[in-house]
Amino acid sequence: MVAEALVEDLQKNPPTVLVNSGDFTQRAREAQYRSAAAYIRRLPSPQINVPGNHDIPLYDIFRRFFSPLDRFRRWISDDPFPTYRDEGLLVIGINTARSLTWKSGRISEEQIGELDRRLSEVPESVHKVIVTHHPFLPPPGEQGTGVNLVGRAEMSLEVLERYRVDLLLAGHLHHGYTGDVRSHYPSSKHAIIVAQAGTAISNRIRHEPNGYNVITLNEDRMCITVRYWNGTSFKAGEQTVYLKKRGLWTPDPASVADSSSQ
């Protein structure tokens, strides 16, 4: 029911680009991938799809270590750096899922180098968005509590700051929230906003209903709206707005006041 409602909701208002930040399957089995592929074909395109830790086999040891993402590449996407680009927007997806660990993930030095190269080719005026499965920022109030943040985050942020990346999207935690990377990385000087996805259609929800983020990016305004499942359909819920002032994204005081009163 939730899955069908999401298809209907996205078809009514198709986004410029649809981002799926991982965990298309539960155990990376062929039948699960086949179902996931059939489902995402019903969703609007273009899409940026990156794998999650659940998209690597857990119990099939041979496949886990020798061909962990062959089914993902066959059924979902064979692009190691899925990219969307238009005149005002660049979205790049990065695989952070790894065979040697179950929950944790990381960005490799090779991936950081490729990010550097790709971002260097884009004008500063273009909005830049990076998609991973594992998050850069822990949930509010959970600093230093063992949350599985993406490995080599600080090394990656050096590159992302250099090219004035605007937004980081991720999944993994089944918990939606927003924030600024500077709240967790004291050495960071540039405001990069995080929009963390909750759980779209899985029944593995954690203290919040199924939902997904709708993000609008204009020259000096970023609006993140959560559309929550209310039992019959998806409806607009919490909204967070950031305004760009002197080149830095800052929370809109009116938005903060509105969300605190809900």
| Per-residue model confidence (pLDDT) at position 133 | 97
Neighbour tally for 76: CB within 10 Å: 23
Query: What is the spatial distance between Cα 54 and Cα 221, in angstroms, rounded to a whole number?
Result: 34
Query: What is the spatial distance between Cα 219 and Cα 210, in angstroms, rounded to a whole number?
Result: 30
Helix (H, G, I), strand (E, B) or coil at 189: coil
Helix (H, G, I), strand (E, B) or coil at 152: coil
| Per-residue model confidence (pLDDT) at position 101 | 72
Neighbour tally for 251: CB within 10 Å: 17
pLDDT one-digit tens code per residue, 81-135:
999 999 999 999 999 999 877 678 999 999 999 999 999 999 999 999 999 999 9
| Per-residue model confidence (pLDDT) at position 92 | 98
pLDDT one-digit tens code per residue, 215-224:
999 999 999 9
Q: Write the DSSP assignment of 97-135 as a string of letters.
A: B-TT-SS-BB--HHHHHHHHHHHHTS-TTSEEEEE-SS-
Helix (H, G, I), strand (E, B) or coil at 222: strand
235 has which bridge partners? 228
Q: What is the pTM of this model?
A: 0.93
Helix (H, G, I), strand (E, B) or coil at 203: coil
180 has which bridge partners? 193
Helix (H, G, I), strand (E, B) or coil at 257: helix
Long-range contacts of 54-57 (CB under 8 A, 24+ apart): 54/22, 54/23, 54/24, 54/25, 54/26, 54/27, 54/28, 55/22, 55/23, 55/24, 55/25, 55/28, 55/97, 56/28, 56/97, 56/98, 56/99, 57/27, 57/28, 57/29
| Per-residue model confidence (pLDDT) at position 43 | 98
Q: Report all structural domains of the chain as residue ranges with CATH numbers, in order of start.
A: 2-203 (3.60.21.10)
Task: List the beta strands (DSSP E) in 94-247.
Answer: 127-131, 167-170, 177-180, 193-196, 211-217, 221-229, 234-245
Quickly state the pLDDT bin for 59 (edges 50, 70, 90). Answer: confident
Report CA dihedral (112, 116, 117, 122) to the nearest 10 degrees: 140
What is the average pLDDT value for the chain, to the nearest integer? Answer: 92
Query: What is the spatial distance between Cα 86 and Cα 49, in angstroms, rounded to a whole number?
Result: 18
| Per-residue model confidence (pLDDT) at position 104 | 85
Model confidence at 240: pLDDT above 70 = yes
Model confidence at 262: pLDDT above 50 = no
pLDDT one-digit tens code per residue, 132-150:
999 999 998 776 556 789 9
| Per-residue model confidence (pLDDT) at position 253 | 83
Q: Name the helix (H) or strand (E) containing 258.
A: helix 253-260
